[in-house]
Amino acid sequence: MRVLLPEGWAPPQGYANGIEVPAGRIVFIAGQVGWDAQQHFQSTEMAPQFAQALDNVLAVLAQAGGEPRHICRMTAYCCDKPAYLAARAELGAIWRQRMGRHYPAMSMIFVSDLLDHPGLVELEATAVLPAAS
């Protein structure tokens, strides 16, 4: 996996502009919200929901035999921009605890609502695992 940073561009903070990956097994992970395995929200706060949503993404990825380092793209949908901005430091700590310093190509999209109430954030991802030998 190679992070793409065009010459002369300032490095982005907390994401990559692009990722180049040699051919392998592609895993598409549907949007995951901050509920537990039984589809119950344990919190209505941003940070715990983000942590659970990221854990859910990583659980689906692990089912395919993948690890956090295999994620090359992630899109986050959030319906509470002020809560997201207020929790950025805590969200960064949650990210580093689970993902280390691996930052895939990412987008953050603020939306009016999510399907699953009282969800505040939804994460979807694409990972590329090494080709099976």
Question: Do strands 105-110 and 121-130 pair parallel, antiparallel, or not at all (unpaired)?
Answer: unpaired
Contacts for 59 with CB less than 8 Å, ≥ 6 apart: none
pLDDT value at position 22? 85
Domain that holds residue 122: 2-130
Q: pLDDT, tens digit, for every residue of 81-124?
A: 999 999 999 999 999 999 999 999 999 999 999 999 999 999 99
Q: pLDDT, tens digit, for every residue of 20-39?
A: 988 899 999 999 999 999 99
Distance CA 13, CA 7 (A): 16
pLDDT value at position 133? 56
User: Count of domains in the chain?
Assistant: 1
Q: How far apart are the first and last CA of the chain?
A: 18
pTM: 0.92
pLDDT value at position 68? 97
DSSP summary character for residue 20: E
Distance CA 78, CA 76 (A): 6
